[in-house]
């Protein structure tokens, strides 16, 4: 019983060490206490230490977690948001780079259908959006459950830098997307704006 309690305490401490960037404590908990790098914090929306590090921009702790055998760096929380989502939304380009280099899915969809690109576009994190493009994300017409593309999300939130970047990508992909989706796929930023206006979003 005592050993179980000790392990549980170590697991929880690992989460907090990752969130606060305590590299020494994190290393000790992994190497000496055998803390679980995939521990789920039930009172933190089922987040993991990897999520905590990505969300808070603790890239050194994130790197240490990623190099640990069996680190489930794509495990999502109760909302379906994985570490890659949190890094993109918060603009932590260094954390996003580390996750993508480790093999994280640049197009991972949360429960509401939002991808890292949607979240970066929402907050005009153009550096993170560019990183996603560099690592193979190309589905600019991918929609959330609410029917929004990353470009529409950027327009709605006044994310001008992301609008410009996505417009360039959208122009290249629009013809192919139109073939697959019919007339529902807008052909320009102007058409996106008209659709948003029709929906009462502006």
Please give the distance of CA 98 from its chain centroid, rounded to a whole number.
Answer: 12
Do 116 and 79 share a structural domain? no
Helix (H) or strand (E) holding 85, with range, is helix 83-90
- Stated pTM of the model: 0.84
In a domain, 96, yes or no: no
Domain count, the chain: 2
Mean pLDDT of 16-45: 96
Mean pLDDT of 121-147: 93
Instruction: Among 56-65, 103-112, 153-162, 163-172, name the one with the lowest average pLDDT.
Output: 163-172
Range of the domain at 155: 106-202
- d(Cα 85, Cα 75) in Å, to the nearest integer? 11
pLDDT at 199: 46
Do 77 and 12 share a structural domain? yes
CATH at residue 76: 1.25.40.20
Do 156 and 121 share a structural domain? yes
C-alpha distances in angstroms, 50 versus 31, 45, 59, 61, 186? Answer: 16, 13, 10, 8, 37
In a domain, 169, yes or no: yes
Burial 166-180 (b: 16+ CB within 10 A, else e): bbebbeeebeebeee
Mean pLDDT of 37-59: 96
Instruction: Calculate the average pLDDT of the chain.
Output: 88
Do 162 and 79 share a structural domain? no
Q: Are 160 and 151 in contact (CB under 8 A)?
A: no
Assign 3-state DSSP to the chain and report helix, strand, coil percentages, each to 5: 60, 0, 40
């Amino acid at each position: 019983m005592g050993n179980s309690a000790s392990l549980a305490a170590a697991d929880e401490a690992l989460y907090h060490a990752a969130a606060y960037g305590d590299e020494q404590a994190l290393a000790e908990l992994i190497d000496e206490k055998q803390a679980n790098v995939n521990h789920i914090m039930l009172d933190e929306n089922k987040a993991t230490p990897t999520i905590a590090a990505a969300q808070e921009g603790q890239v050194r702790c994130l790197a240490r977690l990623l190099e640990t055998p069996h680190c489930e760096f794509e495990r999502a929380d109760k909302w379906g948001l994985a570490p890659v989502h949190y890094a993109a939304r918060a603009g932590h380009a260094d954390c996003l780079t580390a996750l993508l280099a480790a093999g994280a899915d640049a197009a991972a969809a949360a429960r509401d259908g939002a991808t890292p690109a949607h979240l970066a576009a929402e907050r005009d994190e153009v550096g993170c959006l560019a990183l996603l493009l560099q690592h193979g994300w190309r589905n600019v017409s991918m929609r959330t459950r609410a029917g929004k593309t990353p470009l529409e999300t950027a327009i709605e939130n006044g994310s001008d830098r992301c609008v410009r970047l996505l417009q360039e990508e959208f122009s290249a992909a629009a013809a192919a997307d139109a073939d697959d989706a019919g007339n529902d796929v807008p052909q320009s930023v102007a058409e996106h704006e008209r659709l948003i206006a029709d929906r009462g979003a502006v």
